[in-house]
Amino acid sequence: MRIHILGICGTFMGGIALLARELGHQVSGSDANVYPPMSTLLACNGITLMEGYDPEHLRGALDVVVVGNAMSRGNPAVEHVLNRGMRYTSGPQWLAENLLQDRWVMAVAGTHGKTTTTSMLAWMLEHAGLKPGFLIGGVAENFGTSARVGDAPFFVVEADEYDTAFFDKRSKFLHYRPRTAILNNLEYDHADIFPDLAAIQTQFHHLVRTIPGEGLIISPARDAALNATLARGCWTPRATLGEGGDWQARPLAPDYSRFEVVLRGQALAAVEWETAGRHNALNALAAIAAARHAGVQPATSIAALRGFRSVKRRMEKLAEIDGVTIYDDFAHHPTAVAATLAALRARIGAGVRIIAVLEPRSNTMKLGVHRQELAHALAGADAALLLRPEGLGWDLSEATRALGSRRQVFGSVEEIIAALAAMVRRGDQILIMSNGGFGGIHQRLPAVLRGHRAGN
């Protein structure tokens, strides 16, 4: 079958391309920005990439066009598909129809932690010898890829609540029909899609309605938004996490690099791993509980975590230059920003300076929904350097005024890099946070700091 994918370089659609290619299909795709690492990964797997959305990309005997949710009416490729009456579908629907039928689907949903938890769960099943299929919204370091068909029966999927496509406004996860579902947490996000938290809760409850009575829902014991969602009706057994829950993490180190797994008051075993943060310990509990539902003993899952390598862009160490350490993290929601800063502080201890560098890039952040929470989220940093994106409809300086002299707001990445080069000193920890490319700062800053060191 010949498949063309519109929006192929997104993490989800790139994963769909890899799965289709592994199934033996001839795959090509278009995107507005074809760039590494996804472009390299796709090209290495024999997938033809085309820059832009020229209708000429759709010539020839295509069997189906898979349309990414970044596509909208008015896009020339979309208009060509509709005008020619070509067969088209969405990424989630293609996945459901071609891979998830007759599989034991294990879905990981929630506002935060989906990618990391999905990677953990897939790795636990792999460690247990089950060779699961998976689709992860990032490159899982343990596998070196974001997607794999795997062996039946298990398929682990990152279950996003974002809408499916321009022609299907349901959340993506409603296509997956999971037997095991992790609901990590629930907060207001995606303000470009959902008017309020209640609208997201409705989509989550639609998901709950699809989980069989012989399945399992895993969620925090004290997440108010999730508990209110489940109170609308739940027909599936539930395992709970965290304070007051069935599964708990008892810290053995301040940064949770060591913690004890406790099930209903009984200590099972200790986790020792490279990952940090209380939030990641809770992610691990969710994955352990899900793997147990699939028949993997907690001891096996805990052993797997000792070899777990997190996903790229999750407090990923980019460089250490003359005693200055640079990290990259995908955090962009205030809750995630605060959790990432807390995890880094717990790891390095007091007396070491953390410099937070943030790009408020997400649609929700640009709309100003969380602007009142931003200063509090950044309070764990000793200094905060913020990029003011073009067209931002609110005053970034005013929103973060509570940080006082600790924060600086800049109009360009070049200004941020120059400020960092002038202020950093040995021992500093620089934490770059963005859900985008951030103007290439991840590559440019280390180069500038190395140049300064060479010049001194």
SS3 sequence of 133-151: EEEEEEEECCCCEEEECCC
DSSP 161: -
Q: If pLDDT is split at 50, 70 and 90, which confidence band does 311 have?
A: low
The stretch 147-171 carries a mean pLDDT of: 95
The DSSP-derived string for 89-158 is EEHHHHHIIIIITTSEEEEEESSS-HHHHHHHHHHHHHHTT---EEEEEEEETTTTEEEE--SSSEEEEE
Q: For residue 403, give the DSSP letter.
A: G
Cβ count within 10 A of residue 323? 11
For 370, what's the count of Cα atoms within 13 Å in the CB-facing half-sphere? 27
C-alpha 49, offset from chain centre: 24
CA 162, CA 140: separation in Å to the nearest integer? 21
**DSSP type of residue 31:** E
Q: How far is CA 285 from the centre of its chain?
A: 18
On the question of pLDDT at 433 being above 60, the answer is yes
Q: Is 434 left (phi over 0), alpha (psi -120 to 50) or beta?
A: beta
- Residue 55 · residue 80 · CB < 8 Å: yes
Cβ-count burial of 258 within 10 angstroms (0-12 exposed, 13-18 middle, 19+ buried)?
middle
Q: What is the pLDDT of residue 194?
A: 87
- pLDDT tens for 339-363 read 888 888 888 788 889 998 988 877 6
Q: pTM of whole model > 0.75?
A: yes
The C-alpha atoms of residue 199 and residue 317 are separated, in whole angstroms, by: 37
Span of 10-14, 38-42, 118-122, 414-418 with lowest mean pLDDT: 38-42
The CATH code that applies to domain 316-455 is 3.90.190.20
116/136 Cα distance (integer angstroms)? 9
Is there a contact between 138 and 119 (Cβ–Cβ < 8 Å)?
A: yes
Does CATH place domain 2-91 in 2.60.120.640? no
H/E stretch holding 218: strand 216-220
What was the pLDDT predicted at 14? 93
Highest mean pLDDT among 133-142, 291-300, 310-319, 421-430: 291-300
pLDDT digits (tens, 9 = 90+) for 246-270: 999 999 998 898 999 999 999 999 9
Asked whether residue 454 carries a pLDDT value surpassing 60, the answer given is no
How crowded is residue 26: how many other Cβ atoms within 10 Å of its Cβ? Answer: 15
pLDDT digits (tens, 9 = 90+) for 75-96: 999 999 999 999 999 999 999 9
Q: What is the mean pLDDT of residues 375-402?
A: 83
Residue spans in the chain of domains classed CATH 3.90.190.20: 316-455
The token pair that represents 206 in the structure block:
């639609």
CATH topology of domain 102-305: UDP-N-acetylmuramoyl-L-alanine:D-glutamate ligase (3.40.1190)
Residue 115 has pLDDT above 70, yes or no: yes
Q: Where in the chain is the domain with CATH 3.40.50.720?
A: 2-91
Residue intervals of the chain classified under CATH 3.40.1190.10 are 102-305
Query: In 316-436, which residue ranges form alpha helices assigned H by DSSP?
Result: 334-348, 363-366, 371-377, 396-399, 413-423
Burial class for 74, CB neighbours closer than 10 Å (0-12, 13-18, 19+): exposed
First to last CA, the chain: 59
Query: pLDDT digits over 203-238, tens only?
Result: 999 999 999 999 999 999 999 999 999 999 999 999
Query: What average pLDDT does this structure show over 392-421?
Result: 84
Higher pLDDT pick, 367 / 302: 302
Strands (E), 34-79: 48-51, 64-67
Residue range 284-299, pLDDT digits in tens: 999 999 999 999 999 9
The residue assigned the tokens 């963005």 is 434
> Which residue has better confidence, 52 or 187?
52
What one-character DSSP code corresponds to residue 68? P
Q: Is the peptide bond before 37 cis (omega within 30 degrees of 0)?
A: yes
Distances (CA, A) of 346 to 277, 337, 340, 417: 8, 14, 10, 26
